[in-house]
């Protein structure tokens, strides 16, 4: 087994502002030879660091930051002098992601080979560049692509397929028969392919298990957060399409379909047999009922409860979820309720007073 990228090399390489701008398709305002060797938040940055502003509410930090260079939008107009070199780009946040990917090459350890204490069933081929950590279990019939990384104490069940360049972090579990595409990331504690929640009551009200004989199929470039669960189908498959990103503690129930490039924040939950379209965005703690359809591009605010299907392109919030504008107005009205009740009480007292005045 080989391990690369020792602690001594865990720094971001030195780059000039001009080099970064060229890499990101941006332009430099200030010193093009300004050199950075690390990344930092705008309010914490010091000399030799590169920072960014993607949210206007942090703009005030750019006038006092110690950062050597800062990524900003092309149309950013400073209200005060800025000492840092500015790198103007179309989207600072996306560009930061590109740079973090570059930095990761220098900060993440790279492991290859099979560590002592790992179990790999007879007949399983371990291709070039793969890593199987101590205590990991790779069952019979597993198919691994090149450069797959399986960290310590992960479990890969019988007949599982994992595509090239995918990573399964410590303690994650992939049950038998499930299929994972290329360049996927399964974070620590995630469970792919546990039984769907299927039980049927008898005449006495006792529940009996409905066996879940389907699989989970995860396409390429998917990320599954820590302690997230994706349940296997009752029959057929639970399907996570290409490019989906699931945060930590997300629950995907049996026979759910999630479309390409959809993202879900922590503690979102999707009940059985629901179909979620492509390009959707769900905030934290969103809950979807079962057997409904969510159209492409739907955006749901945090803690939204969704009992019914939603057409493509809608932006909704609340429980039950309503149009985002309607929800915002309702919240505004709620904040005024105390004043409105006080006004009603005042008017009621005034009416009572008027009633006591003798009629002419």
In a domain, 166, yes or no: no
The answer to the question of residue 314 being in a domain is: no
* pLDDT tens over the chain, length 360 residues: 544 433 333 345 688 999 999 999 999 999 999 999 888 899 999 999 999 998 889 999 999 999 999 999 999 999 999 999 999 999 999 998 888 887 777 777 888 999 999 999 999 999 989 999 999 999 999 999 999 999 999 999 999 999 999 999 999 999 999 999 999 999 999 999 999 999 999 999 999 999 999 999 999 999 999 999 999 999 999 999 999 999 999 999 999 999 999 999 999 999 999 999 999 999 999 999 999 999 999 999 999 999 999 999 999 999 898 888 888 888 888 888 888 888 888 898 888 888 888 876
Number of Cβ within a 10 Å radius of residue 338:
9
Residue 274 · residue 288 · CB < 8 Å: yes
Q: Does residue 254 lie within any of the structural domains?
A: no
Residue where a domain terminates, one of 92, 107, 122: 107
Please count the other Cβ atoms lying within 10 Å of the Cβ belonging to residue 118: 21
pLDDT value, residue 105: 72
Kindly compute the dihedral angle of the four CA atoms of residues 16, 21, 27, 31, in this order, to the nearest 10 degrees: -10
Secondary structure of residue 116 in the 3-state scheme:
coil
- Where do the H-state alpha helices sit in the chain? 17-24, 92-107, 324-356
Q: What is the pTM of this model?
A: 0.82
Number of helices (H), then strands (E), in the chain: 3, 40
- Sort strands 207-209 and 199-201 into parallel, antiparallel or unpaired: antiparallel
Domain assignment present for residue 273? The answer is no
Which pLDDT does position 1 carry in this prediction? 52
What's the CATH number where 102 sits? 3.40.1390.10
Instruction: Note the Cα 355 to chain centre separation in Å.
Output: 63
Residue 310 is assigned to a structural domain of this protein: no
Query: Dihedral, CA atoms, 269, 275, 277, 282, nearest 10 degrees?
Result: -10
Residue where a domain stops, chosen among 59, 79, 107: 107
Q: CB-hemisphere CA count at 13 Å for 94?
A: 9
Cis peptide before 98 (omega within 30 of 0): no
Which pLDDT score is estimated for 12?
A: 57
Distance CA 41, CA 67 (A): 9
Catalytic residues: 254
Please tell me the distance from the alpha carbon of residue 227 to that of residue 72, in angstroms, as a whole number: 35
State residue 235's pLDDT score: 95
Residue range(s) defining the domain that contains residue 354: 321-360
Residue 333 falls inside a structural domain: yes
Q: Is residue 327 part of a domain?
A: yes
Residues 305, 316: Cα–Cα separation, whole Å? 10
Residue 324 phi, psi (nearest 5): -55, -40
Q: Which of 89, 107, 125 is the last residue of a domain?
A: 107
Contact criterion met (CB below 8 Å) for 92 and 110: no
Asked whether residue 66 is assigned to any structural domain, the reply reads: yes
Q: Taking each helix axis from N to C terminus, what angle separates 17-24 and 92-107, rounded to the nearest 10 degrees?
A: 110
pLDDT at position 298 is 97
Please report the pLDDT score of residue 249 as a whole number: 98
Ordered alpha helix ranges (H), 63-137: 92-107
Structurally, how many domains does the chain consist of?
2
């Amino acid at each position: 087994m080989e391990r690369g990228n020792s602690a001594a090399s865990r720094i971001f390489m030195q780059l000039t502002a001009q080099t970064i701008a060229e890499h990101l398709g941006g332009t430099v305002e200030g010193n093009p030879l300004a050199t950075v060797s690390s990344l930092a938040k705008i309010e914490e940055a010091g000399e030799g660091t590169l920072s960014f502003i993607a949210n206007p509410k942090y703009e005030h930090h750019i006038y006092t930051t110690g950062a050597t260079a800062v990524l900003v939008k092309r149309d950013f107009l400073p209200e005060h002098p800025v000492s840092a070199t500015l790198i103007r780009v179309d989207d600072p946040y996306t560009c930061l992601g590109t740079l973090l990917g570059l930095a990761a090459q220098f900060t993440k350890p790279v492991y290859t080979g099979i560590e002592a204490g790992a179990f790999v069933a007879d007949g399983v081929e371990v291709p070039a560049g793969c890593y199987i950590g101590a205590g990991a279990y790779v069952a019979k019939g597993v198919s691994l692509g090149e450069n797959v990384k399986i960290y310590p104490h992960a479990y890969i069940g019988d007949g599982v397929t994992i595509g090239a360049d995918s990573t399964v972090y410590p303690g994650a579990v992939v049950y038998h028969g499930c299929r994972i595409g290329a360049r996927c990331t399964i974070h620590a504690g995630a469970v792919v392919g546990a039984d769907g929640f299927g039980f049927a009551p008898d005449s006495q009200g006792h529940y009996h298990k409905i066996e879940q004989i389907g699989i989970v199929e995860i396409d390429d470039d998917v990320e599954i957060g820590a302690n997230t669960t994706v349940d296997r189908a009752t029959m057929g498959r639970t399907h996570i399409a290409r490019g989906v990103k699931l945060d930590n503690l997300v629950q995907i129930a049996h026979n759910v379909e999630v479309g390409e490039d959809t993202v879900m924040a922590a503690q979102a939950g999707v009940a059985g047999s629901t179909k979620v379209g492509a390009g959707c965005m769900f905030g934290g703690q969103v809950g979807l009922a079962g057997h409904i359809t969510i159209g492409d591009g739907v955006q749901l605010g945090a803690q939204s409860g969704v009992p019914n299907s939603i057409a493509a392109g809608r932006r909704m919030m609340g429980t039950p979820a309503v149009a985002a504008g309607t929800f915002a107005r309702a919240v505004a009205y709620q904040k005024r309720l105390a004043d409105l009740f006080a006004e009603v009480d005042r008017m009621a007292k005034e009416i009572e007073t008027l009633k006591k005045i003798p009629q002419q």
